Amino acid sequence: MSAAPDKACAAAQEAAPRIDLARLLARIEALAQVGAIEGGGVCRLALSDEDRAGRDLVAGWMRELGLDVTIDAIGNVVGVRAGREALAPVMTGSHIDTVRTGGRYDGNLGVLAGLEVIAALNDAGIVTRRPVAMAFFTNEEGARFAPDMMGSLVCQGGLPLDEALRTKGIDGTTVGENLARIGYAGDAPVGAREVHAFVELHVEQGPLLEHEGVTIGAVTGVQGIHWTEFVVEGTSNHAGTTPMALRHDAGIVAMQIACHAREVARELSGGQLATVGHMKLTPDLVNVIPNRAEFTLDLRNTDAGVLAEAVQRVFAFAQAAAQAEGVRITHRSLADFAPVAFDERIVSRVEAIARQRGHSVRRMPSGAGHDAQMLARMCPAGMIFVPSVAGLSHNVAEYTHGHDIEAGAGVLLDLLMELAG
Ligand code: HGY
Ligand code: MN
Ligand code: MN
């Protein structure tokens, strides 16, 4: 009886897996048609009909590739490719929900590159020792339902499922209602799955890599994120008959706080960031002093101490400004995440593999929040960045060159294979 080919021989027969860029770009293009908006961007707010359509498309691709697909109670969708041994999987993934003026790469690239890695392993007939999983998490953006990274946060145990399901969005409906409405209130328990390691490929969404001409970012961590919703209540009155000294103008206090937040960001060291992205005045009419102002404040910093100081200074100013104008101010936290450091073993492997593949690489923190920062609470996690043209994101003109996508997906492939043995 001829000797069975030994492992080395069998291994030699397996072609080395490779990223098929055309296939990956075709999927990016196809997904970008779901919720497509003027200018080449995408609007797929979490749990919207467009999000459902995107989910159906990607989950269909996952099943076509033979993955065992499960949907958990917060709507996270995970596909697992079996390994030789029934061990905790190595996972990759990101999100496919977008902001209202989203691009086609934010989140989507990480999910579809994960899918491409699965396809490459299938094509090469490779069976890794550990299972390889790929996922898309619910409501990473937090633009409709706060906080951001909601699905991965619930999965990790940082936000109770029932609290997440009760969360009201900017349109007054809840996460639970919408999850059921789009048919993604899954029956798999949240957070039941052990994960051996997690790696997320994502566009940088900032200007650094392009500015320095570097192809790969070995992401060291994610900066702290602090979101607050303020409501200011004053007295509506006639714009033409009310003397300035007698006003209780909710709108001007909101605007003073927004301007002060920018001043604090300028004065503080360490790259403090401040953004007022949403502001709504009531009754929102040209000749009526607003009696209500609602606005959000997004404060971020890689340094937790400086971030805390920024919060303290803006909040103190807000109280004083409200008192001076004789209006009432209340606030509620929408998100409060400390800075996260990724696992040095993952960061250094991203660096080394990028170099082995002949790419320039640099270490850098992430300005944006990502699902990887939540997975980092439960397993070794890290991220791979690729350049964003003109540093644009959360903008329909968001773009990343094909050769950079291929580079990032190649590093992801090698790292996942290494981690999965
Ligand atoms: O806001 C963020 O950083 C992310 O886009 N959710
Ligand atoms: Mn993202
Ligand atoms: Mn985003």
First-to-final CA distance of the chain: 31
Give the number of the ligand closest to the Cα of residue 98: 3
Between CA 353 and CA 346 the distance in angstroms is 10
Per-residue pLDDT of 47-74, as tens digits, reads: 999 999 999 999 999 999 999 999 999 9
pLDDT at 328 over 70: yes
Cα-to-centroid distance, 179 and ligand 3 (Å): 20
Pick from 77, 68, 128, 149: which is nearest to 375 by CA? 149
Q: Which of 97, 109, 148 maximizes ligand 1 atoms within 8 Å of its Cβ, making it the mutation to test the pocket?
A: 148
Between CA 276 and CA 291 the distance in angstroms is 19
Cα-to-centroid distance, 354 and ligand 3 (Å): 24
pLDDT at 390 over 60: yes
Average pLDDT over residues 75-93: 98
Q: Which of 225, 301, 302 maximizes ligand 1 atoms within 8 Å of its Cβ, making it the mutation to test the pocket?
A: 225
Q: Which of 96, 105, 108, 140 maximizes ligand 1 atoms within 8 Å of its Cβ, making it the mutation to test the pocket?
A: 140
Pick from 372, 367, 413: which is nearest to 94 by CA? 372
54 Cβ inside 6 Å of ligand 1:
no
Measured by CA distance, the residue closest to atom 5 of ligand 1 is: 141
Give residue 192's Cα distance to chain centre: 22
Tokens of 419: 């981690």
Report residues near ion ligand 3: CB below 5 Å. Answer: 106
pLDDT at 149 over 90: yes
Question: By the 8 A CB rule, do 153 and 342 touch?
Answer: no
Give the number of the ligand closest to the Cα of residue 148: 1
Confidence of residue 191 (pLDDT cuts 50, 70, 90): confident
pLDDT at 354 over 90: yes
- Which atom of ligand 1 sits closest to the CA of residue 106? 5
Pick from 140, 203, 110, 224: which is nearest to 390 by CA? 203
- Phi and psi for 362 in degrees, rounded to 5? -145, 150
Measured by CA distance, the residue closest to atom 4 of ligand 1 is: 369
Cα-to-centroid distance, 101 and ligand 2 (Å): 13
CATH architecture of the domain with range 224-337: 2-Layer Sandwich (3.30)
Average pLDDT over residues 64-89: 98
147 Cβ inside 6 Å of ligand 1:
no
| Whole-prediction pTM | 0.94
pLDDT at 186 over 60: yes
Question: CA dihedral defined by 370, 376, 379, 385, rounded to 10 degrees?
Answer: 50
Which CATH number does 16-222+340-420 carry? 3.40.630.10
Average pLDDT over residues 81-95: 98
Residue 9: CB atoms within 10 A of its CB come to 10
Residues linked to residue 381 through DSSP beta bridges, in sequence order: 198
DSSP codes, 229-266? EEEEE---EETTTS-GGG---HHHHHHHHHHHHHHHHH
Question: By the 8 A CB rule, do 415 and 349 touch?
Answer: yes
369 Cβ inside 6 Å of ligand 1:
yes
Cα-to-centroid distance, 202 and ligand 2 (Å): 7
Tokens 């041994």, residue? 85
- Which atom of ligand 1 sits closest to the CA of residue 369? 3
- Which atom of ligand 1 sits closest to the CA of residue 300? 3
Percent of the chain with pLDDT over 90: 95
- Which atom of ligand 1 sits closest to the CA of residue 148? 6
- Phi and psi for 226 in degrees, rounded to 5? -135, 105
Q: How far is CA 265 from CA 272, 321, 335, in A?
A: 5, 18, 19
Cα-to-centroid distance, 350 and ligand 2 (Å): 19
Give the number of the ligand closest to the Cα of residue 106: 2
Tokens of 103: 């691009």
116 Cβ inside 6 Å of ligand 1:
no
Confidence of residue 192 (pLDDT cuts 50, 70, 90): confident
Confidence of residue 9 (pLDDT cuts 50, 70, 90): low
Per-residue pLDDT of 252-289, as tens digits, reads: 999 999 999 999 999 997 699 999 999 999 999 999 99
Measured by CA distance, the residue closest to atom 6 of ligand 1 is: 141
Pick from 133, 159, 119, 121: which is nearest to 79 by CA? 133
Cα-to-centroid distance, 141 and ligand 3 (Å): 5
pLDDT at 126 over 90: yes
Per-residue pLDDT of 201-255, as tens digits, reads: 999 999 999 999 999 999 999 999 999 999 999 999 999 999 999 999 999 999 9
pLDDT at 38 over 70: yes
Domain edges within the chain: 16-222+340-420, 224-337
